């Protein structure tokens, strides 16, 4: 996990502790002011900028400017059409592929690979992270191994995967799975380590043990961290998808990239990049919604 | 059948449980083997069933530590704690603790947090009724469905007290339970504790930094303080509070005792 995500997990734990430990007077308003969730909300708000529609419109400003500059290039001809095809040409390339029924196929197969790899990798990451985060024995036995595996740059697995599984769906999904596994594993593992000890002790003091303690205190406490891990994992899954498809495939957006590059079709390269950006952002936004709900529900 | 195996289940509240506590040459220290620091030393004390014992002492002198050994949260270094004649080994279900911090589960409502304190043997319907009754008692009925972060620190503290009461414990361990409350709520909660104790006279160990609170609520006051020349706190004073409860907050008897206690805690001239 990145340093940034690590400190985010720590900060959340610290914030929830101070939120719990407020020791001032019995006054609801002063309490709310200390509430981390509210601070986050007011911190982001600055009048009209906090309005959903306004934000959405502002978010469109820069993309529209870029589109304008892009179109201007087509008119002024600073870069040649081979280097930088016009927006219209990219759109036409998309329409052509769509008419042949290929575009949809590329999108579907890529999305499917990402979702399957992400799902399996996340579940495994959750399971192994929970095991190593909760069991001292498993931690002592396995953490060095997992750490060493994580140190391997994930693309180094490619030759082995191709040798073992041939160039089929399995090898691609497996590579994506590896990419998704580690962010989830690391966030869950660390978050379980940093569950507020006082809360766990309170649970034990009221007779909770084993599975009950796990489901009542420990797992709920790490739900927000799990979601930030999932978002990192999804980003990794798209990254590894493109890597897998660039290396060996006959379908998918990564294949469209490499194939277009071999054929000098810059318009299709742009098409593939834009599609990856849009689909990647859309899946992340969906997960982001789930995360916001989870943070509200579990903190 | 189940009722036969767990006789408590037919009487979910085990009415009027109160256990005696005996601290016997209790010692506690923390730190690594080479840098060990004694916190408590040679604490021997007998608390009668149903008694309210207030524990006073300067900050960091080991009040919470003493309470934690009674709850079985920490095993003492030396000596032992007996509750109702049986030694405490590990977390003891005869006790209930209200910690110095509320320690509520942030993802649960206040109601669910109180329900966490219910004894395992209580039935669902009896438990639910008991939780509502306790929320009413601590004045939080209107906030039953709120989350801890949506209420004030004082309300969280009261929830924590209700959670401890839900256990219907034979020993109630309260660690500065009213410390976070404003003056008015504090008086109300002190009266409430006495009411509850009047109806169900359980044994109470009450850690407090408030001398007046100790004088008002306790049968006896234990002052923890440094022992002669050695590190670690021990019993500096153990005195009975004159008069019966409810005591007059302005009584002259108490005023004399009050200045004695304050000077013992290092505050002179009151
Ligand atoms: N688990 C622990 N590990 C190390 N030191 C501790 C631990 N618990 C308490 N102490 C130390 O013991 C002393 C007494 O603490 P405590 O009982 O909390 O005091 P108080 O009287 O304020 O409640 C303090 O100096 C504290 O730092
Ligand atoms: Mg304390």
Domain assignment of residue A22, yes or no: no
**Whole-angstrom Cα Rg for chain A:** 24
Cβ atoms < 10 Å from Cβ of B237:
13
Inspect the interface and report whether the beta carbons of A220 and B73 lie closer than 8 Å: no
Greatest mean pLDDT among A118-122, A127-131, A264-268, B1-5: A118-122
Name the residue at shortest CA distance from atom 3 of ligand 1.
Answer: B30
Average confidence score pLDDT of chain B: 88
Task: Give CA angle at B228 (B222, B230), nearest 5°.
Answer: 105
Q: Which of A20, A207, A208 sits opposite B148 (nearest CB)?
A: A20
Q: What percent of chain A has pLDDT over 70?
A: 85
Averaged pLDDT, A272-299: 91
Question: Closest Cα of chain A to B97: distance in Å?
Answer: 7
Rounded to whole angstroms, the Cα distance separating A259 from A276 reads 16
Pairing assessment for the beta strands B21-30 and B95-98 based on DSSP bridges? unpaired
Q: Which of A26, A32, A198 sits opposite B103 (nearest CB)?
A: A198
Mutation site for A-interface testing, chosen from B131, B139, B146, B149 by largest number of A Cβ within 10 Å:
B149
Inspect the interface and report whether the beta carbons of A20 and B103 lie closer than 8 Å: yes
Instruction: Indicate if A62 and A153 belong to the same structural domain.
Output: no
Contact B258, B214 (CB under 8 A): no
Q: Residue A19 has what pLDDT?
A: 41
Average confidence score pLDDT of chain A: 84
Show Cβ contacts of residue B203 under 8 Å, excluding neighbours closer than 6 positions: B18, B19, B20, B21, B47, B48, B49, B50, B51, B52, B53, B170, B171, B172
Rounded to whole angstroms, the Cα distance separating B130 from B167 reads 10
Name the residue at shortest CA distance from atom 25 of ligand 1.
Answer: B60
Tokens describing residue B267: 């505050």
Q: Enumerate residues lining ligand 1, CB below 6 A.
A: B 30, 39, 57, 59-65
Residue of B35, B65, B98, B266 to mutate, ligand 1, most atoms within 8 A of C-beta: B65
Domain assignment of residue A17, yes or no: no
Show Cβ contacts of residue B43 under 8 Å, excluding neighbours closer than 6 positions: B23, B25, B26, B27, B66, B79, B234, B235
Give the torsion sign (CA, B183, B188, B192, B194): positive
Identify the band that residue A296 occupies on the pLDDT scale cut at 50, 70 and 90. confident
Instruction: Indicate if A181 and A199 belong to the same structural domain.
Output: yes
Inspect the interface and report whether the beta carbons of A27 and B182 lie closer than 8 Å: yes
Q: Where are the beta strands (DSSP E) in chain B?
A: 21-30, 37-47, 52-56, 78-83, 86-87, 95-98, 171-175, 203-207, 220-226, 233-240
Pairing assessment for the beta strands B203-207 and B52-56 based on DSSP bridges? parallel
Strands of the sheet containing B78-83, edge to edge, are B86-87, B78-83, B21-30, B37-47, B233-240, B220-226, B52-56, B203-207, B171-175, B95-98
Domain assignment of residue A286, yes or no: yes
* C-alpha distance from residue B40 to each of A186, A219, B59, B210 (Å): 40, 36, 13, 21
Instruction: Indicate if A71 and A199 belong to the same structural domain.
Output: no
Q: Which one of A78, A99, A120 terminates a domain?
A: A78
- Burial pattern B139-177, b for ≥16 Cβ within 10 A else e, equals ebeebbebbbbbbbbbbbbbbbbbbbbbbbbbbbbbbbb
**Whole-angstrom Cα Rg for chain B:** 19
Instruction: Indicate if A119 and A139 belong to the same structural domain.
Output: yes
Rounded to whole angstroms, the Cα distance separating A16 from A39 reads 12
Inspect the interface and report whether the beta carbons of A16 and B96 lie closer than 8 Å: no
pLDDT digits (tens, 9 = 90+) for A45-76: 567 777 778 888 888 899 899 999 999 988 88
Domains by residue range for chain B, with CATH: 2-30+37-102+170-264 (3.40.50.300)
Contacts of A216 in chain B (CB under 8 A): 105, 116
Instruction: Indicate if A167 and A147 belong to the same structural domain.
Output: yes
Identify the band that residue B9 occupies on the pLDDT scale cut at 50, 70 and 90. very low
Contacts of B150 in chain A (CB under 8 A): 32, 35
Identify the band that residue B16 occupies on the pLDDT scale cut at 50, 70 and 90. low
Instruction: Indicate if A151 and A273 belong to the same structural domain.
Output: yes
Instruction: Indicate if A275 and A145 belong to the same structural domain.
Output: yes
Domain assignment of residue A174, yes or no: yes
Q: Mean pLDDT lowest for which of A110-124, A258-272, B97-111, B253-267?
A: B253-267
pLDDT digits (tens, 9 = 90+) for B218-262: 999 999 988 776 788 999 999 999 888 888 877 888 888 898 899
Domain assignment of residue A111, yes or no: yes
Rounded to whole angstroms, the Cα distance separating A247 from A257 reads 11
Instruction: Indicate if A255 and A170 belong to the same structural domain.
Output: yes
* Number of domains, chain A: 2
Rounded to whole angstroms, the Cα distance separating B190 from A62 reads 62
Helix, strand, coil share of chain A (percent; to 5): 85, 0, 15
Tokens describing residue A122: 């996340």
CATH of the domain at A292: 1.10.3720.10
Structural domain including A92 reads 84-298
Q: Which one of A78, A95, A119 terminates a domain?
A: A78
Instruction: Indicate if A177 and A218 belong to the same structural domain.
Output: yes
Atom of ligand 1 nearest to the CA of B100: 23
Contact B20, B84 (CB under 8 A): yes
Domain assignment of residue A36, yes or no: no
If you measure from the C-alpha of residue B173 to the centroid of ligand 2, how many angstroms do you get, rounded to a whole number?
12
Q: Residue B15 has what pLDDT?
A: 56
Q: Is it the case that residue A31 has pLDDT exceeding 60?
A: no
Instruction: Indicate if A262 and A285 belong to the same structural domain.
Output: yes
User: Is the pLDDT higher at B132 or at B247?
Assistant: B132
Answer yes or no: pTM beyond 0.90: no
Domain assignment of residue A37, yes or no: no
Q: Is A284 helix (H, G, I), strand (E, B) or coil?
A: helix
Cβ atoms < 10 Å from Cβ of A260:
18
Contacts of A206 in chain B (CB under 8 A): 96, 116-117, 163, 167
Name the residue at shortest CA distance from atom 10 of ligand 1.
Answer: B30
Domain assignment of residue A29, yes or no: no
Instruction: Indicate if A55 and A137 belong to the same structural domain.
Output: no
Rounded to whole angstroms, the Cα distance separating B52 from B203 reads 6
pLDDT digits (tens, 9 = 90+) for A191-248: 999 999 999 999 999 999 888 998 899 999 999 899 999 999 999 999 999 999 988 8
Q: Residue B1 has what pLDDT?
A: 35
Question: Closest Cα of chain A to B238: distance in Å?
Answer: 28
If you measure from the C-alpha of residue B207 to the centroid of ligand 1, how many angstroms do you get, rounded to a whole number?
14
Rounded to whole angstroms, the Cα distance separating A94 from A101 reads 10
Instruction: Indicate if A107 and A178 belong to the same structural domain.
Output: yes
Q: Is it the case that residue A30 has pLDDT exceeding 90?
A: no
DSSP secondary structure code for residue A81 in this structure? T
pLDDT digits (tens, 9 = 90+) for B158-214: 999 999 999 999 999 999 999 878 888 899 889 989 998 988 899 999 999 899 999
pLDDT digits (tens, 9 = 90+) for B76-109: 999 999 999 999 999 988 899 999 999 999 999 9
Name the residue at shortest CA distance from atom 20 of ligand 1.
Answer: B60
Q: What percent of chain B has pLDDT over 70?
A: 93
A135: phi then psi, degrees, rounded to nearest 5: -105, 120
Q: Residue A82 has what pLDDT?
A: 84
């Amino acid at each position: 996990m990145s340093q940034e995500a690590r400190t985010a997990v720590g900060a959340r734990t610290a914030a929830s502790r101070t939120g719990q430990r407020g020791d001032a007077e019995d006054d609801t308003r002063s309490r709310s002011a200390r509430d981390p969730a509210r601070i986050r909300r007011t911190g982001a708000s600055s009048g009209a900028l906090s309005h959903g529609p306004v934000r959405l419109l502002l978010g469109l400003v820069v993309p529209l400017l870029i589109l304008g500059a892009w179109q201007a290039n087509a008119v002024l001809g600073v870069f040649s059409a081979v280097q930088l095809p016009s927006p219209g040409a990219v759109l036409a390339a998309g329409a052509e592929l769509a008419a042949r029924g290929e575009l949809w196929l590329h999108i579907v197969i890529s999305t499917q690979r990402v979702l399957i790899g992400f799902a399996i990798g996340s579940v495994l990451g959750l399971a192994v992270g929970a095991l190593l985060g909760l069991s001292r024995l498993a931690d002592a036995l396995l953490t060095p191994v997992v750490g060493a595996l994580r140190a391997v740059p994930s693309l180094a697995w490619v030759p082995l995967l191709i040798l073992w599984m041939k160039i089929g769906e399995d090898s691609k999904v497996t590579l994506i799975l590896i990419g998704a596994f580690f962010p989830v594993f690391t966030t869950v593992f660390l978050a379980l380590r940093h569950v507020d000890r006082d809360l766990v002790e309170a649970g034990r003091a009221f007779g909770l043990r084993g599975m009950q303690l796990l489901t009542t205190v420990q797992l709920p406490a790490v739900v927000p961290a799990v979601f930030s891990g999932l978002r990192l994992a999804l980003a990794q899954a798209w990254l590894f998808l493109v890597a897998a498809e660039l290396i060996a495939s006959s379908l998918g957006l990564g294949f469209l990239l490499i194939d277009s590059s071999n054929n000098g079709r810059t318009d299709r390269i742009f098409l593939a990049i834009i599609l990856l950006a849009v689909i990647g952002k859309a899946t992340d936004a969906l997960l982001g919604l789930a995360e916001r709900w989870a943070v509200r529900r579990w903190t | 059948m189940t009722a036969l195996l767990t006789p408590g289940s037919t009487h979910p509240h085990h009415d009027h449980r109160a256990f005696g506590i005996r601290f016997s040459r209790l010692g506690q220290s923390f730190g690594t083997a080479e840098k060990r620091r004694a916190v408590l030393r040679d604490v021997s004390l007998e608390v009668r069933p149903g008694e309210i014992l207030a524990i006073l002492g300067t900050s960091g002198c080991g009040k919470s530590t003493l309470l934690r050994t009674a709850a079985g949260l920490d095993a003492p270094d030396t000596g032992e704690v007996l509750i109702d004649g049986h030694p405490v080994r590990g977390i003891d279900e005869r006790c209930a603790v209200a910690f110095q911090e509320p320690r509520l589960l942030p993802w649960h409502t206040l109601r669910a947090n109180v329900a966490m304190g219910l004894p395992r043997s209580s039935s669902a319907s009896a438990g639910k009724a008991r939780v509502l009754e306790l929320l009413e008692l601590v004045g939080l009925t209107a906030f039953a469905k709120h989350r801890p972060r949506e209420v004030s620190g004082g309300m969280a503290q009261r929830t924590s007290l209700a959670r401890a009461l839900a256990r219907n414990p034979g020993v109630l361990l309260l660690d500065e339970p009213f410390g976070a409350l404003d003056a008015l709520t504090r008086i109300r909660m002190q009266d409430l504790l006495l009411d509850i104790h009047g109806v169900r006279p359980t044994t109470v160990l009450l850690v407090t930094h408030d001398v007046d609170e100790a004088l008002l609520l306790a049968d006896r006051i234990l002052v923890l303080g440094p022992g002669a020349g050695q590190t670690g706190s021990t019993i500096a004073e153990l005195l009975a509070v004159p008069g019966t409860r409810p005591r007059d907050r302005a009584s002259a008897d108490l005023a004399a005792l009050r200045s004695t206690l304050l000077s013992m805690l290092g505050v002179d001239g009151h």
